[in-house]
């Protein structure tokens, strides 16, 4: 329950800040263009707090913290006295109205830059993208990936850390090949490698993009030495203790955690003979993994142990930190990368390269907010920057119910010299609302299926 409340609180804070930024963009540019803003609301429903400023705008914090809006004076909605028509949104020029509409997404892009700027001022822990090898018979194995090589570039785009490598690889979905620029860490010799991705299958709910390609990254690994034993578990009943090292199961030597994990999963309610090392002494214990149901609905065995993690390989970790001005440039570059990736993913959804079953909704966002907030400030700022960019990109889609749809109508008006008819706009809004509701429904169902 505490995790649920933490996720919910983190989600409300993140959404509240991002919506406030978005709506402030509309509000600020509207005022600069002489539009009377009647209400600036964070949330929907009953007002919990409200106040007015000298220009007559009512600021509201409402009961349902799932969005917000800016209500401007508009003759299409409100009766407007002749002396106040110059303050109405619909009496402004097309370019002024376009600026007001575009200011919401624009504010989210700027906010992402500010968040990333702050991150790089503080210092961002990074991991060099060094390969530990390739999984047998994988795309990377067939291409000839070798251990101890660092990825320098992906399809010509420079790579500095694992995070940027991850984003760039995801961006390549649907392409027939991926070019990797690699450097051997000992000799510094460089070479180019081509991954044949015509039959590439990637399921982000079950694996990382690196795993889907068979790229093994040089990272700390789970060992066969146990760090924790779950209370009242099959492991505790068998007599296992923290610090034990599992050497063999049923006489089969175990050298990797993945081997141990696989044997346990496939041995639900079946006795296993464990050969272990405890403080230099060899022991033999018997354990019966209990039957559990995994998230995918399949039954599997559970022993109730947590492995020790090996130390970080030397030279892999570093902190990326910039000065005040350089951090701005890095914030802009990272925001552009996230924006490019967001638009690319939308395009891949339309072409079928990415399935709609991978869409995420509010539950996944809440979980992400809670997880990153628990990790620390840098992780939460990074998450906020990503969601801010996504919010901006989604709002720029040419669906009439979104800012992008309004901009589309205004572009047509600018070209034709007269506005789109109210009937056409109404049909467009209904269509946009239907599409948006369908996508939200799919995303919510996906969230529920992942619980």
- Answer yes or no: is pLDDT of 26 > 80: yes
Lowest mean pLDDT among 6-10, 109-113, 126-130, 291-295: 291-295
State percent of the chain over pLDDT 70: 92
- Answer yes or no: is pLDDT of 372 > 90: no
Mean pLDDT taken over the chain: 87
Is 23 among the catalytic positions?
A: yes
CATH number of 222-309: 2.30.42.10
Q: Where are the domains of the chain?
A: 2-33+92-122+375-450, 125-220+311-320, 222-309
User: pLDDT band at 129, cuts 50/70/90?
Assistant: very high
SS (H, E, C) the chain: CHHHHHHHHHHHHHHHHHHHHHHHHHHHHHHHCCCCEEEEEEEEEEEEEEEECCCCCEEEEEEEEEEEEEEECCCCCCCCCHHHHHHCHHHCCHHHHHHHHHHHHHHHHHHHHHHHHHHHHHCEEEECCEEEEECCCCHHHHHCCCCCEEEEEECCEECCCHHHHHHHHHHCCCCCEEEEEEEECCCCCEEEEEEECCCCCCCCCCCCHHHHHCEEECCCCEEEEEEEECCCCHHHHHCCCCCCEEEEECCEECCCHHHHHHHHHCCCCCCEEEEEEECCEEEEEEECCEEEECCCCCEEEECCEEEEECCCCCCCEEEECCCHHHHHHHHHHHHHHHHHHHHHHHHHHHHCCCCHHHCCCHHHHHHHHHHHHHHCHHHHHHHHHHHHHHHHHHHCCCCCCCHHHHHHHHHHHHHHCCCCCHHHHHHHHHHHHHHHHHHHHHHHHHHHHHC
Residue range 196-218, pLDDT digits in tens: 999 898 887 778 889 999 999 99
Spell out the residues 6+ positions from residue 202 whose beta carbon is closer than 8 angstroms to its own.
Answer: 173, 209, 212
Q: Report the predicted TM-score, pTM, of the whole model to 2 decimal places.
A: 0.82
Domains 125-220+311-320 and 222-309 fall in the same CATH topology = yes
Residue range 326-360, pLDDT digits in tens: 999 999 999 999 999 888 888 877 777 776 666 66
The mean pLDDT of 245-272, rounded to a whole number, is 89
Higher pLDDT: 421 or 244? It is 244
User: pLDDT band at 294, cuts 50/70/90?
Assistant: low
Q: Are 111 and 386 in contact (CB under 8 A)?
A: no
CATH number of 125-220+311-320: 2.30.42.10
Pairing of strands 222-229, 252-253: unpaired
Q: What angle do CA 273, 278, 281 make, to 5 degrees?
A: 90
- Answer yes or no: is pLDDT of 296 > 70: no
Q: Look at residue 364 in the predicted model and tell me its pLDDT.
A: 64
């Amino acid at each position: 329950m505490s995790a649920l409340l933490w996720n919910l609180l983190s989600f409300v804070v993140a959404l509240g800040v991002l919506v406030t930024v978005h709506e402030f963009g509309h509000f600020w540019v509207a005022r600069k263009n002489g539009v009377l803003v009647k209400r600036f609301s964070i949330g929907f429903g009953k007002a919990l707090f409200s106040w007015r400023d000298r220009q007559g705008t009512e600021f509201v914090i409402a009961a349902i913290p799932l969005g917000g809006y800016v209500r401007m004076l508009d003759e299409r909605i409100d009766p407007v006295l002749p002396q106040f028509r110059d303050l109405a949104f619909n009496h402004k020029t097309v370019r002024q109205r376009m600026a007001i509409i575009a200011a919401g997404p624009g504010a989210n892009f700027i906010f992402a830059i500010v968040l990333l700027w702050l991150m790089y001022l503080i210092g961002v822990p990074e991991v060099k993208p060094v390969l530990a090898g390739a999984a047998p018979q994988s795309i990377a194995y067939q291409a000839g990936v070798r251990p101890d090589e660092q990825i320098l570039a992906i399809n010509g785009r420079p790579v500095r850390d694992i995070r940027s490598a991850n984003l760039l690889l995801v961006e390549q979905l649907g392409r027939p090949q991926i070019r990797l620029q690699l450097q051997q860490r000992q000799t510094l010799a460089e070479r180019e490698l081509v991954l044949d991705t015509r039959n590439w299958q990637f399921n982000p709910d079950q694996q990382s993009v690196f795993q889907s390609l068979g790229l093994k990254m040089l990272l700390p690994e789970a060992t066969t030495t146990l760090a924790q034993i779950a209370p009242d578990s099959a492991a505790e009943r068998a007599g296992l203790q923290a610090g034990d090292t599992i050497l063999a199961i049923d006489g089969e030597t175990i050298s990797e955690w993945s081997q141990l994990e696989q044997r346990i999963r496939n041995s639900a309610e079946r006795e296993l003979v464990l050969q272990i090392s405890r403080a230099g002494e060899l022991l033999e214990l018997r354990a019966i993994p209990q039957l559990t149901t995994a998230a995918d609905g399949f039954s599997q065995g559970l022993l109730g142990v947590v492995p020790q993690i090996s130390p970080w390989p030397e030279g892999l970790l570093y902190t990326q930190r910039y000065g005040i001005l350089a951090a701005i440039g890095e914030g802009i570059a990272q925001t552009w990368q996230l924006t490019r990736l967001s638009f690319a993913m939308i395009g891949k959804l339309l072409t079928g390269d990415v399935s709609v079953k991978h869409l995420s909704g509010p539950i996944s966002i809440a979980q992400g907010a809670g997880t990153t907030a628990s990790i620390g400030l840098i992780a939460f700022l990074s998450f906020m920057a990503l969601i801010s960019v996504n919010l901006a990109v989604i709002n720029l889609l040419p669906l009439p119910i979104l800012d992008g749809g309004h901009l589309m109508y205004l572009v047509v008006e600018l070209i034709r010299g007269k506005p789109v008819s109210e009937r056409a706009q109404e049909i467009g809004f209904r269509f946009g609302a239907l599409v948006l509701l369908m996508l939200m429904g799919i995303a919510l169902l996906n969230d529920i299926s992942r619980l």
